[in-house]
Amino acid sequence: MSYDLVVKGGTVVTAADTFVADVAVSKGKVAAVGQVAAGDAKVVDARGQIVIPGGIDVHTHFDMPFMGATTADDFTTGSTAAVFGGTTSVIDFAIQKKGEALRQAFDTWREKAEGKSAVDYAFHMIVTDLPEKQVKEMDKMVDEGVSSFKLFMAYPGIFMSDDATIFRALSRTKENGGMICMHAENGGVIDVLVQKALAEGKIEPKYHALTRPMSAEAEATRRAIALAEMAGVPIYFVHLSAGDAMDEVRRARERGQPVFAETCPQYLYLSYDDYERPGFEGAKFVMSPPLRPKGNEERLWKGLVRNDLQVVSTDHCSFCMKVKGGKAGKELGKKDFSKIPNGAPGVETRMLLLWDAVSKGKITQNRFVEITSTTPAKLFGLYPRKGHLSPGADADIVMIDPRKKHTFELKNLHANVDYNPYEGKTVDGEITNVFVRGQHMVEGSKLLGRTSHGHFLRRPPRSFN
Ligand code: DUC
Ligand code: ZN
Ligand code: ZN
């Protein structure tokens, strides 16, 4: 058997096992895992390094218009940041404008991504408008490989759906095999709290967090779980931040309901205290849901260990602080926290932040692979093509040198954004090589592959109930 590439002698870590092996690649696919004769193949020495299936980030927003701004990263810069950070596939969000056909939103986002992504990409569809006559459009999207839909219980007037719309969408996924991804925060209550704070002259970034309490997330999570139960379908919670919301997920799972949830590194590593930074600094951390008080992160870590939470994604939604390239920044909200574009970067830092947790003994190596790659692939129809290193899988391979340390510095990161939430933080481990479908994309700090290498991934309907 002849191969194109052999990643030689590394410690292969999958969600299930850890073993020393070579990974042989032929025509972009894993051809063998074991001891192989490299022959004429290109050999990359992985001795002493960790070899894992490429990270899958199921929550990014590239080239997204939102709150009077547009995210700093388009598909080119966002996917370049992803691949340097050890993420080889992303699922981004196409957004349906009110009154628009879902198909139109899909076409718009395909155009934004086509030929401009270093990593493979798929889409969820953000549904903002779903009258009864449009419900069947969801089926067409599932047929096109967009088999998950995000709905919002927050952002009234922009994204928020009422319970009837949510129930309609959930019920339709029973017919078409789609999955609903839910942004669970009680938008009506939050709006009242925001208006009250502003009327009292409370305008600083920290009031973003103080007007979005944990119970607003827990209540919406509980309500969405009940709606999914009535519809008889699974549900997936995006960017779960609050321990109290996680408890709702845990209780539902203990009852046997198919409920899943992701959290994000910002909720594991940052806290409300970051809003108290001097001046307008707190705006860097304005995202929804907001960062929570110290102590909450320990509940989430426990939840990741116990499988109350199944995935860590990023919600990469990068806005610059200042105007850049004609795009407005977070300074839009200098005099009113409610006008700060919500979101923060994270796609490049996720894998190492989580590897650091392995090194510090918070999670095992296998759990690290499970929550960053294997389970995301399984829940969103990419498995076994993605999320695992076994013959027949795409050769999306990441090498981490566990003997090295890495310090996050804006000047070395690849996102097109003027700050980094983890600036100066040193973590254990360094990403040394990244391959996407066998193509050597990253070696150290060098980009070897093209930023047009990524393919659109059609995802099949859900295979579980
Ligand atoms: N949360 C954010 O922080 N940004 C984009 C949308 C969202 O739900
Ligand atoms: Zn959201
Ligand atoms: Zn998001």
Q: Is the pLDDT of residue 208 over 90?
A: yes
Pick from 381, 386, 388, 405: which is nearest to 458 by CA? Answer: 381
Q: Is the pLDDT of residue 324 over 90?
A: no
Q: Is the pLDDT of residue 320 over 90?
A: yes
Residue 62 near residue 79, CB atoms below 8 Å: yes
Residue 260 near residue 238, CB atoms below 8 Å: no
238/113 Cα distance (integer angstroms): 22
How many angstroms is it from 452 CA to the middle of ligand 3? 24
How many angstroms is it from 183 CA to the middle of ligand 2? 5
Q: Is the pLDDT of residue 299 over 90?
A: yes
Pick from 175, 308, 320, 161: which is nearest to 237 by CA? Answer: 308
Ligand 1, residues 59, 66, 266, 291: which to mutate, most atoms within 8 A of Cβ? Answer: 66
How many angstroms is it from 447 CA to the middle of ligand 2? 31
Q: Is 114 exposed, middle or buried (0-12, 13-18, 19+ CB in 10 A)?
A: middle
Half-sphere exposure of 36 (CA within 13 A, CB side): 27
Where do the H-state alpha helices sit in 232-325? 243-254, 265-269, 296-306
Mean pLDDT calculated for residue range 234-239: 98
Percent above pLDDT 90 for the chain: 99
Q: Is the pLDDT of residue 151 over 90?
A: yes
0.85 surpassed by pTM? yes
SS3 183: strand
Say how many Å lie between the first and final Cα of the chain, rounded.
40
Q: In the structure, which protein residues have their CB atom closer than 6 angstroms to any atom of ligand 1?
A: 61, 66, 183, 287-288, 315, 317, 342-343
- The residue contributing the CA closest to ligand 1 atom 1 is 288
Ligand 1, residues 241, 285, 317: which to mutate, most atoms within 8 A of Cβ? Answer: 317
- The residue contributing the CA closest to ligand 1 atom 8 is 288
Mean pLDDT calculated for residue range 144-156: 98
205/209 Cα distance (integer angstroms): 8
